[in-house]
Amino acid sequence: MRNLFTLLLFMVCTIPFAYSQTGSVSGTVKDGNSQMVLPGVTVTVQGKSISTQTDASGKYTINATGTDVLLFNFIGFSDKSVSVNNLTTIDVFLDEEDQSIDEVVVVGYGTQRKVDLTGSIGSVKASDIAKQPATSAMQSIQGKVSGLNIVANEQPGSSPTVLIRGMGSALGGRNPFYVVDGIPADNINNISPSDILSINVLKDASSASIYGIRAANGVIMVTTKKGSAGRTQISYDGSFGIKGILNRVDMADANQFITYFNENAAAIGQSWTLQPNQENNTDWYDELIQNGQVYNNSINLSGGSEVVDYYLSYNNLTEKGVLEGSKFQRHTIRNNNTYKFFDNKLKFMQTLNLTMTNATPKPLAAFDAAYKQSPLVPVMYENGRYGRPFVNQTTGLVTYESTAGQTVGNLNSIGNPVFENYRYNELLNTVSIQGSFEGEYQITNYLKFNSRFSGTKVYNKNRNFSNVKEAWLNADPRRTEAEFEALKLANPTSLTYVNNTLTTGQSESFRWAWENFLTFQKSFDKHNLELIAGTSLEKFNIGNNYSATGYDVPDQEQYWNINMASSGYNKSVNQTYITPTALQSYFARGQYNYDSRYYFTATVRYDGTSTFKASGDYYDVFPSFGAGWTISNESFAQDISWLNFLKVRANWGRLGNQAIPLNVSQVLQSTGTNGNENVNYVFGPNQDLIFGAAYATPVIPLSWEVTEETGVGVDFTLFNSHLTGSFDYYHKLNTNAILSVKPLLNSTFSQNFYDHGAKILNSGFEANLSWNKSVNENLSYTVGVNYSYNKNEVTDVKPTYDGNTGGSLANGQITKQLREGQPIYAWWMWETDGVWQTQDEINAGAKYGSPRPGHLKYKDQNGDNVIDDRDKVFLGSYIPTSIYGVNLGINYKAIDFSIDGYGVGGNKIYNGLKGTRIDGGENIAASTFENRWTGPNSSNTDPGAARDSYASSYYLESGAYFRINNVTLGYTFRNLYSNTSNLRVFFTAQNPLIFTKYSGFSPEITGTDNGNPAETSGIELSAYPTTRNFIFGVNMSF
Amino acid sequence: MKLNKLNIAVVLIAGFLTTTSCSNFLDVESREIIEAGDSEDVITPEEYVNGVYGMFTDWNYAFAYLGITEILSDNADKGSSPTDSGTDKDVLDNLTYTNTTPSFESLWSHWYKSIGRATEAITYTENYGLTDEGYKNRLIGEAKFLRALNYFFLVRGWGDVTIQELDLIERKPAAEVYDYIEKDLTDAIAVLPLKSGYASADLGRATKGAAQGLLAKVYLYQKKWQQAYDMAQEVINSGQYGLESDYAVLWRVTSENGTESLFEFQGRGVAIAHGIQQYSETQGARGTSGWGWGFNTPSQNLLDAYNAEGDAIRRDATIIFRGEVMYDGRVVDVGVENPMYNEKAYSSANAGAADGDKNIRYLRLGEIYLISAEAANELGNSSGALADLNRVRNRVSLAAVTTTDQTQLRTLIYKERRLELGFEHDRWFDLIRTGQAEAAMTAAGKPFQSKHNLFPVPNAQINQTPEMTQNPGW
C-alpha cells in the first residue's frame, strides 16, 4: 500500500541566504513518504565529476558552487535535481518511483508499462498478498481485483475457486490458465504466497489472447521474487493464528428436539413419543469442532552482484483444521537465480520450486451429521461404544437398552459425527518440482531472443485405512466381537466382515514446455514499436496412476502394507496411463504507439492441440486487437490542472478453451460377469455367455470452445494523482459451449454425451476507485473500492439439449436446471406459497402427494390444479451478479492500520442442511424450532415439525453478504541493528465479522468437483464453514 | 550496426523456431480409451446384435415391466408388504398413477434405447463389409425383429409414438407405427432362418417363426383379421413348433426354447451367471421363510376365474399357494407374507438369486393358436376358430367349446387368453385392445377412466421435448 503514496513532494530551504561562491553544501535526504532518512543515496553535481553518498543518518556534504545543480539518485526512488541557488544547506525528500506512471505489469512473453495497456489487467502486489495470509495466494487477493469472483474453501490445504468475468463454460474447463514465471500451470497451490512478487490478471481478450486456446477463462500471471544487485536482504516472516467458526448455527437443544419430534409424531400418527426428560443434551458442534491453528514461517535471502542475482527462500505452513485431526503441512523451497554475462547482454534465468505437502483430511460429511444428529444421543455410551440414535420406543427414552417385550428402533439414520471423524483415516502426500531454465540474448539494443524450457513434475501418494470391524461394532453397542468373528467365519468371502480395508494409491504427472521468442523494441522519433514473435511446444498430463486395495492388514499402522493383507480376500489393483495433451503454437504481438497518445495492439496465436484428435481437428487462430487513446497527453489537455491521466481503451479478441472432459467411452462392452451395461447375453442349449457390444454415445466431432470478447474501458488519475480509477465494460460470448447432454429418453443412445450446444454470455462492468493522500509527514491514508457486475446467461441452446438437471441434494431431489435464457444451472424448484393450515384447505387445493397441515404449500404456477414439474420455476443463480471490495489503509508514524472488506450480492444459495430431512428424527436449528408452524394460523411461512423434504424456495436464501475479511494493525521498529533492518509486529483478524441473512454456516459454498455448476455449488451440504482467524506475526528484515 | 552478428543470430534463431515444427507432435496416442479406429478391429457386427438382446436382461424387465403389464391389470396385485410401495407399484395397482410414475419412464426409455441399439447394429452390419451375405442378412434380420418387438411394446402402451429413425418429437399415428413394425417384420421373415435352421449354439436367436408369430400378433392388435389368421397359420403349419403336452412344464427350465417356444428372453443362473436381473427374486415368496420380495402376486379375481372354469391345471401352474409343496419339493412355508405368488417367475435352481435361470417366454405356439382362433372367429370361420381354441383347451383337460355364435365365441376366446396366458405380461393390453378394460377393472374395484386406455407419456420426456404431445387426460 505504501507504494501508492506517490507524488508527495516538498522541499525545504532552511536558510534564505544568497551569494554565489564555491563552498560546501550539506543536508539530509529523507523518504518523502515515510520521513525516514535514506543512507546510500548518490549525490552528484550536474556536469561535474564530483559525487558522494549519504551516510548512515542520511547526511551528505559536497563541494558545489552557488549556481550548480545537485542530482540525487537512489534505487526505487525517482531521481531528483535541485539547484543550489547559493544555499549551503539543502535537505531533500525523495519520492518512491511513481507507480501510476512507471508501474509495470507482466503480460504474456514480456512486460508492459501499465499506462501503455490497451487491455484490462488487474494487479496485486506482494504487500497485499502478505497482508492476508492464506494457503493459496488466490485466496489472499479476494476482493482486491474487480471482475474476479473468488469463492473461498477453507478446508486445510484447499484452494478457492476462481472465475474471471463470470462462468463461461458449463463443463470442466472453468478455471483460469496460470502462468508462473512463464511456466504454464493449472494452479498455484505449490507456490508459497511469500515468494510471490506480483499477480497480474489478464481479464480481457486483447491481453489474454496470446495464450490462445487456453485463454477463454482469463489468464493469471504469477511472478515470483528475484534478487537484485546492491540490495542484499535477509528477511523472516512468521505468524501464528487461531481459527474458529465464523458463523456458527445455533442448534435445537434436547428439550426443543423432544418437542419438535413429538409434534411430528403426533401429526403423522406415530404410536410412540419421546419422554420429556432425557439423559443427554449433546451439542455435536461442541464435541466435533476445535479451534484450528495456523503456523507460517518463511525466510528469504536475496541479493546480487554483477554476475549473479539470487533469491532463496524456505517456507513452512502448518494448519490444523477445525475438525479434530485434520492437518495440512507444506514445505516450500524456492531458488531463483539470474546469471549475467557480457554486460548483461547474455542472461540465464533459473527458477526452481520444490514443494512437499502432507495432509490428513477429515470427512466434511461430519459437519452434516453434527447438524442432523439428535442432541439426545450421547457421544459415547458407558460401555465405551460410540452413541447411536437408538431409541426405546416403548419407554420413549433414547437408549439402546431394553427389557423383554420392549421395542428398540432408530430416531434417524444419521451416524455419530465424532465417530465418523475419528475413524476416517486418510493420508495424502504430494511432492511437486517446478522449474525453468531460460536464456536471454540481447542481440542488438533493439532485438532480444529468449529461449525457455520449463518442467513440472508432481507425485501424489494417498492411503486410506478403514477399520471395518470397529465400525461394525460401533454401529450397535450391543454387538460383541464374538458375534463379528462368527459372522466372519460364516461368510469368509464377504467384504462386510473384513477387519479392515487398506487402499494405497500413487500417481505422477509431468508437463514440459519449450518456448522461443524474439522481441524487437525500437522508437523512431515519436513512433514506438514493440514486436514479439515466437513458438511454443508443450506436453502435459504425461503420467499414470495406480491404486491397490487389500483387506485385513494388521491393526498397527506400521504394517499397513498391501503385501500384509490377508490372502483370504481378493486384492484389487487399478492402473492406467493417462493420455497426454500436446500443444504446438506460434504467436506474435505488435504494439505501436505514437507519442504515447495513440495506441494499437494486435496479437495472434496459432494453436495446435492434440485434444480433439478424434475429430481430426488440430489448429485454430486466435487473434485480438486493442486500441487506446491517452487524452491527457494531448496538448489541449495539458492545461487541465486536475487531470493527471486519462485514457480510453477498446479491444476485441477471440479466445479458446480446450479443457473439455472427453473421457467418455463411446462403446459399451463388458467382459466380466457384471451385467450393468446389459450388452452380454446367453445363447445355445447350455446358455453360454456371449459377449455383446453397444454404442453408448453418438460420434460427435468436438472441438475447442471459442469465446469472443469485446470490451471498452477508461483509466484516469485526477486531483494531483490522489484519485485513480478505471471503468470497464465487457461482452464475452462463448459461441459454442460444450454441454453434457442427457440423451432424449426416446433417442438412440443411453449415456450422457458431449456436444457443442449453446452459447454462454457473460456481460458486465467493473469499476475501481482509490484515493490516496498524505495529510502530513506523519499521517497518510488510502481508500479503495472496486465493484463488478456480471450477468450470466445461457442462450441459443440447441433443440432438445435443454433441460439438463443438476444440484442433487442426495435425497432424490434436484435443484438446478440448464435452460436457455437463464444463468448456467439456474435454481429450478417449486415456489412456496405459505403453509397448509387445515385438512380442508389441502383437500380443496393443488398439492403434490399427500401433504398434512403444517407442510409447505407449493404454488400452482400453471393453474392446472396439480403440482408437478411444470410448476417449478427458475429462481436465479448461485453465482453472484455483484462483487465488491473495500480497502482502507492508514499509516501514522510507525503504525499501520488497514481494514479490508469483501461482499457479493444478487445470488441465492440453498440451505441443504436445513432442507434434507429424511426420517423426521434429525435435529434442526434453534431458529427452525422457534419459527415453526404449530397449528392453524400459527405461521404461514415456516413449516411445522411434520414437513416434507421436497426442494423448494423455502430453503433458497439470499446469498448476499459483506464480510470484513481483514483488519490489521502493525507497528514497525526501524533501524534496529543497521540502517536497513526493520522489525514489524502485527496483529490481523481475518473474517472478524460477516453481515448476512443466510441461516447456515457459510454463504461461500464451492461445492463438489471444484465448483462444478451442475453439482452442489451454492448448496450447503458437506461444506466447510467459513472460519474466523486471529493472527499474530512479525516481519523482520536485515 | 553489427550486421554480421545480427545475421548469425537470426540464422540461429530461425533454426530454433523451425525445429519445433514436427508434424507428428500432435498425434498423441490414446492410452485409457480405445480409439474409434481400433474398436472396429475389435468388435464384430454380431456383438452389436448381441448387445440388442442384452437389453432383455435389464432390471427393468424384473420390476417396472411387472408393474405396467400385470400389476395394473385385474390379474395381479402389488403384493409384498403393505408398507413397501415397490417404488410405484402401489399407484399402478390402484390406477392412481401419474405422468411422473417412474415405471413408465423406465420402460419408455428402455424400449427406445433397445430400438437404438438395433438400428445401430443394422447400420454397423451393413457397412462392416461382411462377405457372407446370408450371415449378414440374418444379423440384420435379427436386429429388425428386435426393433419391431420394442416398437410393438411402445405402440400398444402409448398409441402414437415417435419413430426414432424419423423424428424425435413428432408422435406418428399408431397406424404408421404399425406399418413400420410390419415392414421390419416382413424384412426379417424374408431373411431369418427357421428355428431348425440355426446352429445349436445359436439357440435363442430370433427365427423366421418368431417374426411370423409376432407379425400375427401385430395384425391381431390392428384387427387385420385375415392377415393375422394367415400369419398364425404359417407358423402353425411350418413344422417347427408343437404344443408341450403338459402345460405345467411350460415355464420350467426343462421347456426352455422347447417345441412350443417361438421367442424367449434368455437368462442363465449358474456361474458365470447372467440372468434377467432379479426377475425371479422380485416375485419370489416374501417373508422369513421366503426367497424373494413378493411383488406381482395373483389376484383373487384371477383365482376365481380359474376356479370358475374348473381350470386346475393352469391355475396350479400359474399360482404358488402359501403352504403348498412345489414340483421340485420346495415347501412354501405358511409364514410367507402373501397368500399367492407368481409361479411362472419361479426359478427352481436359483430361486432368490439376482441372476436366475428363468427365461421369460415372450411368444409361444399356444398363443398363436389363440390368435388364429380369434381371427378366424372374426372372419366368420367358426369351425377353424373352434379347432384352434380346443387344441389349447384339450391340453389342459377342459371340455371342448362348441358354440358357433360369433359373439359368444369371441368372449370365450378372450377368457381363454386370460387363463392360458396368465402372468405372461399380456393381460392389460388384451383388456385395452378388446375394449373390456373398463368393465373388468371396475369389477376388480379399480377406478378405470378413459385416460387409462393409453399410458401417460413420461413427464421427463415432455420436459426434454416440450413440443411433444401428451396422451389425453394426462
CB pair distance less than 8 Å for B50 and A695 = no
Q: Do B21 and A746 touch (CB under 8 A)?
A: no
Mean pLDDT, chain A, integer: 87
**Residue A994: cis peptide before it, omega within 30 degrees of 0:** no
Residue A8 has pLDDT above 70, yes or no: no
- In this predicted structure, what is the pLDDT of residue A153? 83
What's the CATH fold of domain B43-192+445-474?
A: 1.25.40
Which residue in B has a C-alpha nearest to residue A869's C-alpha? B459
Query: Does residue A5 register a pLDDT over 50?
Result: no
Categorise residue A147: left if φ over 0, alpha if ψ from -120 to 50, beta otherwise.
Answer: left
Measured between beta carbons, which residues in chain A are less than 8 angstroms from residue B28?
A: 579-582, 610, 613
- Inter-chain contact B169–A800, Cβ cutoff 8 Å? yes
Q: Which site among A535, A539, A577, A746 would you substitute to test the B interface, given the most B Cβ atoms closer than 10 Å to its Cβ? A: A746
Least confident of A512-521, A582-591, A643-652, A737-746: A737-746
pLDDT of residue A917 exceeding 80, the answer is no
| Portion of chain B with pLDDT greater than 70, in percent | 94
User: Which of A46-60, A654-668, B113-127, B346-360 has the least mean pLDDT?
Assistant: A654-668
Do residue A667 and residue B120 have CB atoms under 8 angstroms apart? no
Rounded to an integer, the average pLDDT of B81-91 is 83
Sorting pLDDT into bands at 50, 70 and 90, what band is A745? Answer: very high
Least confident of A858-862, A980-984, B278-282: A980-984
Distance between CA atoms of residues B98 and A864, nearest Å = 14
| Residues of chain B found within 8 Å of residue A613, distances taken between Cβ atoms | 26-28, 30
pLDDT, residue A12, reads 29
Instruction: Tell me the C-alpha distance between B77 and A194, whole Å.
Output: 72
Angle, nearest 10°, between helix axes B208-221 and B225-236?
160
Determine the Cα–Cα distance for residues A630 and B330; give it in Å rounded to an integer: 95
Using pLDDT thresholds of 50, 70 and 90, give the confidence band for residue B23: low
pLDDT at res. A2: 38
Domains of chain A plus CATH, in order, are 2-97 (2.60.40.1120)
Q: What is the DSSP letter of B70?
A: I
Contacts of A687 in chain B (CB under 8 A): 204, 266-268, 357
B277 at interface of A, judged by CB pairs closer than 8 A: yes
C-alpha cell at A965: 475479511
Query: Across-strand partners of A646?
Result: A716
CB contact under 8 A, A682 and B2: no
Residue A802 touches chain B, beta carbons under 8 Å: yes
- Cβ pair A946, A267 in contact under 8 A: yes
Contacts of A750 in chain B (CB under 8 A): 113, 116
Average pLDDT value for residue range B358-380: 97
Contact A803 B58 (CB under 8 A): no
∠ CA B172-B177-B181 to the nearest 5 degrees? Answer: 160
B23 touches A at CB < 8 Å: no
Which of B9, B20, B32 shows the shortest C-beta gap to A578? B32
In chain B, what are the domain boundaries? 43-192+445-474
Per the CB < 8 A criterion, the answer to whether A406 and A390 are in contact is no
Q: Is B410 on the interface with A (CB under 8 A)?
A: no
**Which of A514-518, A754-758, A960-964, B406-410 is predicted least confidently?**
A754-758
Q: Which residues of B are less than 8 Å from A514 in CB distance?
A: 20
Looking at beta carbons, which residues of chain A come within 8 Å of B16? Answer: 451, 516, 535
Q: Is the pLDDT of residue A9 over 70?
A: no
Chain A CB contacts of B463 under 8 Å are 803, 869
Instruction: Tell me how many degrees the CA angle A848-A852-A853 measures, rounded to the nearest 5.
Output: 120
pLDDT at B47: 93
Put simply, the chain A residues between 641 and 660 with a CB less than 8 A from any chain B CB are none
Q: Is the separation of the CB atoms in A534 and A574 below 8 Å?
A: no
Answer whether A668 sits within 8 Å of B51, measured CB to CB: yes
pLDDT of the residue at A34:
62
B267 vs A contacts (CB less than 8 Å): 682, 687
In this complex, do B266 and A690 lie within 8 Å of one another by their Cβ atoms?
no
Mean pLDDT in residue range A958-966: 92
Of the partner residues A613, A667, A681, the one whose CB lies closest to the CB of residue B43: A667
The verdict on a CB contact (< 8 Å) between A687 and B52 is no
Q: Is the pLDDT of residue A171 over 60?
A: yes
Decide if B5 and A444 are in contact by the 8 Å CB cutoff. yes
- Contacts with B41 from chain A: Cβ below 8 Å: none
Does B1 have pLDDT greater than 80? no
Residue A15: CB atoms within 10 Å: 10
Q: ipTM of the assembly? A: 0.92
Rounded mean pLDDT of A176-196?
A: 92
Give the C-alpha separation, B162 to B154, whole Å: 9
Q: Which residue has the higher pLDDT, A407 or A714?
A: A714
Q: Which of residues 46-85 of A touch B (CB under 8 A)?
A: none
A1005, pLDDT greater than 70: yes
Rounded CA separation A779/A46 (Å):
34
* Residues A770-815 pLDDT 10s: 998 888 878 889 999 999 999 999 998 887 787 778 888 877 788 9
CB contact (8 A) between residue A868 and residue B98? yes
| C-alpha to C-alpha distance for A223 and A351, rounded to whole angstroms | 11
Contact A750 B277 (CB under 8 A): no
Range name among A355-369, B22-36, B213-227 with the lowest pLDDT average:
B22-36
pLDDT of residue B4: 63
Average pLDDT over residues A634-644: 85
Question: Chain-wide mean pLDDT for chain B?
Answer: 92
How many CB contacts within 8 angstroms connect chain A with chain B? 214
Place of cell 369351425: B383
Determine the Cα–Cα distance for residues B270 and B267; give it in Å rounded to an integer. Answer: 10
Whether residue B274 and residue A689 make contact (CB cut-off 8 A), yes or no, is yes
Q: What is the mean pLDDT of residues B33-55?
A: 83
CA separation, residue A680 to residues A271, A695, A751, B271 (Å): 50, 13, 17, 14
The vertex-B229 CA angle with B225 and B235, nearest 5°, equals 150
CB distance A745–B257 less than 8 Å? no
Contacts with B333 (C-beta within 8 Å, 6 or more apart), sequence order: B285, B287, B288, B289, B290, B322, B323
Contact across the interface for B100 and A690, Cβ inside 8 Å: no
Q: How many Å lie between the alpha carbon of B176 and the closest alpha carbon of chain A? A: 17
**With contacts defined as CB-CB under 8 Å, which chain B residues touch A745?**
105, 108-109, 112, 458, 460-461, 464
What CA–CA distance (Å, rounded) separates A874 from A872? 7
Least confident of A428-442, B175-189, B346-360, B443-457: B346-360
For residue A580, what is the nearest residue in chain B, using CA coordinates?
Answer: B28
Q: How do residues B92-147 score in pLDDT, each as one tens digit? A: 999 989 888 889 999 999 999 999 999 999 999 999 889 999 999 999 999 999 99
Contact A95/B at CB under 8 A = no
Identify which has the larger pLDDT, B83 or A205: A205
CA distance B43 to chain A (A): 7
Summarize pLDDT for A47-76 with one digit per residue, the tens: 787 888 888 788 898 888 888 888 888 776
Buried b (16+ CB within 10 A) or exposed e, A882-903: ebbbbbbbbbeeeebbbbbbbb
Instruction: With a cut of 70, say whether residue B13 has pLDDT above it.
Output: no
CA distance B313 to chain A (A): 28
Nearest to B367 by CA among B460, B228, B461: B228
- The percentage of chain A sitting over the pLDDT mark of 70, rounded to a whole number, equals 95
Whole-number Å distance between alpha carbons of A532 and A520:
6
A796: left (phi over 0), alpha (psi -120 to 50) or beta: left
Would the pLDDT of A762 be above 90?
yes
CB atoms < 10 A from the CB of A86, how many? 17
pLDDT value at A339 more than 80: yes
Per-residue CA distances from B77 to B74, B92, B298, B444 (Å): 8, 9, 6, 11
Give the mean pLDDT of A758-775.
91
Q: Which of residues 422-451 of A touch B (CB under 8 A)?
A: 441, 443-444, 447, 449, 451
Sign of the Cα torsion B65, B68, B69, B74 reads positive
pLDDT, tens digit, 9 for 90 and up, residues A507-558: 999 999 999 999 999 999 899 999 999 999 999 999 999 999 999 999 999 9
- Whether residue A3 is predicted with pLDDT greater than 70 in this model: the reply is no
Residue B409 has pLDDT above 90, yes or no: yes
